[in-house]
Each structure stands twice: as structure tokens, then as C-alpha cells.
């Protein structure tokens, strides 16, 4: 099984410096692209590969790039923004890539910027990722020294600068337009769409925003071709995927596997199954802002289409496990507290609705809830859904809440009837 994204990563070791990275074939794709491929050909290779965005939405990366104005009449400068904020609870895959192989991300950023004829690239990094920041700074400096960044790279006529921008540390900074505002030095509020960033992004200029894992795939597509990339997968969605698992499993972690690996294989083979004395009751398949699935869904393939058909989203592909000895009401309350705290307050359904949900869940968890509170939570989950807010924060927060009410309603009702949390009895 090929694992192109993690082939250079060695647990407990410093990442490869630029010399070691190049000896292993690193920056070969940049040389190939700048010497023998046009920007349009690089973009077409990515589109032919069917690379879907690995940040959560799963939008076709090559298609997104196609919306950027190209040619001599396009507005300048143009920008690439790499979303490395990764504040989704339960998600840690991009950290693995940045700490373990920072040059892979930089190479992918150069290629992606070239494909859209961008002049400047920003890596927008979560503030808490200090080790990743140090390693990325060292790597970027090495690439400048080697002549693969800056003016007229290897005499190709193409120039690019890369800047590391460390986040202010809020979840909203990871929303693509909130992130653009943060880079501009503004409060990280979402922007209304249209216009979309591809035509009016940073400082009103064309900008593409892609996730770290998405960008890291680009060098391998350029080197090996679209058919190779598609053949890595178990489904018609190409490539590998870095999946993760946390919770009461024996071996929590992250693994690069073919796209379309089943939930059962992820939990039983790679995460080692449930810890002794615990049974699987449910799971969030793609981080905190996805709908619960149950043991009845273990045969579901972990690709965007299959997980959506099962009633949830692949999201980041990092599973959060709920065991049979943990309270689902308490779990959802913990998540909603996070989302309510991280709301930017830009729209009333989000800041008001999420706080109201927290208050209702707090009462239910404490044994002070009423049956009508459960109905109110269902109404809130609908009110917070898509189309009612500026961005996807509130709709994402509504997914675990609505699906918990669907699958674990009896647990909510027990809290009300017994006037206490059944899992917190002395």
C-alpha cells in the first residue's frame, strides 16, 4: 500500500531538511512544473485526479482553481492561502503533516500557487502549533536559500513569496473568509458570498484557500499523474486520506489509508478496537461538527459520498468515538459549549441560538430539564441549520446535536425523568 503523504514521516525524529528531502525526490515536481508545464496543465492534472478538499467540505480542488481569473488581464497580485488553523475538535491530521514533513507542504504550496499564477502564499497556522511553526519557518528559509522561492525561480520567470501567519487562536479563523479577514488584520468575521474568494479574496484580489492535506497531495499528482492518484483509492474519489480516531479505543492516532477505507477497518484494525470493558455506541466520523453514526454504520466507506449517503459528512476524516459508559448528553454539551464560545457573534442565530442550546443542555445534564426542553433543542437544531447563518459554524454545531437527539433521545429523556445524569450516580 502506497502512503505518499506520510512516506517521509518518522515518529520521534526531526523532519528532513531540504537536502535530505531533495535526495528523496522532493521538489522534483516543482522543477518539472516550472520547466515543462504551464499553470493550466498543473491545474488540469489536479482536476483530472479528482482531488477533493481535505479540510471538511470536500469541494473539488481543481474546480475551485478554475474560478480564478487567469492571464495578463487578471487582477494582481493573486494569493494562495493555506488553511492550517485546524481547531476542529478531534482533528489532528494536519499537525502530523506539518511537524513531520514541512517541505511537502511548501512544495505543494509552490505548485498550487503556480497553477493559479499567484504572487504570494500565506500559511495560516493555528497559534498553539508552536513546533509546526518552528519547523515551517526553518523549512521556508531553506527553500529561499536554495533558490526555489523568491524572484524568478530557477530562471522560469515565475516568482513567489511564502509567509507564515500565526493565528490569533480562534476557531472562526479557520472559516475561509474569516481567515482572510484575520490575515488582513481585521476581526475574524465571515464575509457574505458572493463575491467568492477566487475572484475577491485577500485585499479584494483573487485568492484560493485550500487545506494543508489538500495542498500536500499536489506534488504527488504532478510527479505521478492523475491515473496513479485515482488508483490509490478504494472508491471513485481519488487518493489516500489521513484518518484519525480518538476516544475509548486501544490505539488512538492517525493513519494514511486508501480513500474509502471502512469505519470498521479504521476502528478495529488501526485503532485496535474498543478498550476492555467498553463498547462502541456511536461516533462522529469527521470531527466534532458532523452527525453521529452508530454501530449499524460500520460497513460505511469513509469517502465523501458514502458518508453523506449514511447521513453524516466525512469532514476531516477524524473519528471521535462515543462509548457505552459515557453520557451522550454530556458529550454534546461539551461540544456545544465549545461552538458557543467560538462564535464570532456576527449573526444572531449563531451567538444567541448556540448559547440557548448550552443553557438547555446544562439544565438537562444537571437533572433540571423538562421534556419540552428536548423539543426546544430539536427546534434550535433546525434553526441553526444551513441557510440561516453567515457561515458554517452554527450548522456544523447543529449536526452532533440533531443527530444525538435522533439516536440517543432516550438518554435525554432519562435525564429528565430521573432528575440526574444516569452516568454520574455515586
**Domain containing 390 — which CATH number?**
1.20.1440.230
Shared-domain flag, residues 271 and 218:
no
Asked if the model's pLDDT at residue 83 lies above 70, the reply is yes
**Any domain includes 11:** no
Shared-domain flag, residues 387 and 407:
yes
Shared-domain flag, residues 68 and 94:
yes
**Any domain includes 282:** yes
Domain termination site, one of 263, 295, 323: 323
Indicate the number of domains in the chain. 3
Give the three-state DSSP class for 163. strand
Domain housing 283: 245-323
Shared-domain flag, residues 293 and 334:
no
**23-80 per-position pLDDT tens digit:** 999 999 999 999 999 999 999 999 999 999 998 888 999 999 999 999 989 999 999 9
Q: Left (φ > 0), alpha (ψ -120 to 50) or beta: where does 240 sit?
A: beta
Shared-domain flag, residues 172 and 34:
yes
Cell of 160: 513567489
Shared-domain flag, residues 311 and 343:
no
Closest to 86 in 3D by CA, of 50, 125, 57? 125
**Domain containing 250 — which CATH number?**
3.10.20.600
Domain termination site, one of 271, 306, 323: 323
**Domain containing 93 — which CATH number?**
3.40.50.11540
Would you call 133 exposed, middle or buried from its count of C-beta atoms within 10 A (0-12, 13-18, 19+)? buried
**Any domain includes 55:** yes
Shared-domain flag, residues 210 and 278:
no
**Any domain includes 127:** yes
197 within 8 A of 65, measured Cβ to Cβ: no
* Confidence band, pLDDT 50/70/90 cuts, at residue 425: low
pTM for the model stands at: 0.95
**14-26 per-position pLDDT tens digit:** 999 999 999 999 9
Shared-domain flag, residues 199 and 285:
no
Asked if the model's pLDDT at residue 357 lies above 80, the reply is yes
Shared-domain flag, residues 36 and 50:
yes
Domain termination site, one of 264, 291, 323: 323
**Any domain includes 3:** no
- Bridge pairing between strands 120-125 and 79-84: parallel
Please tell me the predicted confidence (pLDDT) of residue 385.
86
3-state helix, strand, coil in the chain (%, to 5): 45, 15, 40
What is each CA distance from 373 to 179, 293, 360, in whole angstroms? 35, 23, 6
**Any domain includes 406:** yes
**Any domain includes 82:** yes
**332-351 per-position pLDDT tens digit:** 999 999 999 999 888 888 98
Amino acid at each position: 500500500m502506497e502512503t505518499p503523504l506520510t512516506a517521509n514521516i518518522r515518529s520521534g525524529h526531526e523532519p528532513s531538511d531540504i537536502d535530505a528531502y531533495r535526495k528523496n525526490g522532493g521538489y522534483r515536481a516543482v522543477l518539472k512544473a516550472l520547466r515543462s508545464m504551464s499553470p493550466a496543465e498543473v491545474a488540469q492534472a489536479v482536476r483530472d485526479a479528482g482531488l477533493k478538499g481535505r479540510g471538511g467540505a470536500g469541494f473539488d480542488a481543481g474546480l475551485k482553481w478554475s474560478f480564478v481569473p487567469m492571464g495578463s488581464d487578471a487582477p494582481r497580485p493573486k494569493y494562495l492561502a493555506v488553511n492550517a488553523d485546524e481547531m476542529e475538535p478531534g482533528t489532528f491530521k494536519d499537525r502530523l503533516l506539518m511537524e513531520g514533513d514541512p517541505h511537502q507542504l511548501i512544495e505543494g504550496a509552490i505548485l498550487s500557487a503556480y497553477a493559479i499564477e499567484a504572487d504570494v502564499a500565506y500559511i495560516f497556522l493555528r497559534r498553539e502549533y508552536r513546533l509546526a511553526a518552528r519547523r515551517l519557518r526553518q523549512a521556508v528559509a531553506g527553500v529561499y536559500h536554495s533558490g526555489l522561492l523568491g524572484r524568478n525561480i530557477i530562471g522560469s520567470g515565475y516568482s513567489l513569496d511564502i509567509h507564515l501567519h500565526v493565528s490569533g487562536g480562534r476557531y472562526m479563523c479557520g472559516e475561509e473568509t474569516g481567515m482572510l479577514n484575520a490575515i488582513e488584520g481585521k476581526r475574524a468575521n465571515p464575509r457574505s458570498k458572493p463575491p467568492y474568494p477566487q475572484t475577491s479574496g485577500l485585499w479584494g484580489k483573487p485568492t484560493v484557500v485550500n487545506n494543508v492535506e489538500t495542498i500536500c497531495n499536489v506534488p504527488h499528482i504532478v510527479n505521478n499523474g492523475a491515473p496513479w492518484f485515482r488508483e490509490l483509492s478504494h472508491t471513485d474519489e481519488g487518493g489516500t486520506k489521513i484518518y484519525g480516531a480518538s476516544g475509548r479505543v486501544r490505539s488512538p492516532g492517525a493513519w494514511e489509508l486508501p480513500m474509502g477505507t471502512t469505519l470498521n477497518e479504521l476502528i478495529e484494525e488501526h485503532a485496535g478496537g474498543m478498550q476492555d470493558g467498553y463498547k462502541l455506541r456511536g461516533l462522529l466520523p469527521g470531527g466534532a461538527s458532523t452527525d453521529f453514526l452508530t454501530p449499524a454504520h460500520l460497513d460505511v466507506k469513509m469517502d465523501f459520498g458514502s458518508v453523506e449517503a449514511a447521513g453524516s459528512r466525512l469532514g476531516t476524516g477524524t473519528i471521535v468515538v462515543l462509548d457505552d459508559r459515557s453520557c451522550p448528553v454530556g458529550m454534546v454539551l461539551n461540544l456545544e459549549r465549545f461552538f458557543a464560545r467560538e462564535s464570532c457573534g456576527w449573526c444572531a442565530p449563531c451567538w444567541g441560538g448556540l448559547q440557548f442550546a448550552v443553557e438547555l443542555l446544562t439544565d438537562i445534564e444537571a437533572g433540571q430539564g423538562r421534556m419540552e426542553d428536548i423539543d426546544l433543542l430539536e427546534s434550535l437544531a433546525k434553526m441553526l441549520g444551513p441557510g440561516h447563518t453567515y457561515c458554517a459554524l452554527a450548522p456544523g454545531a447543529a449536526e452532533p446535536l440533531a443527530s444525538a437527539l435522533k439516536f440517543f433521545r432516550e438518554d435525554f429523556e432519562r435525564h429528565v425523568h430521573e432528575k440526574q445524569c444516569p452516568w454520574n450516580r455515586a
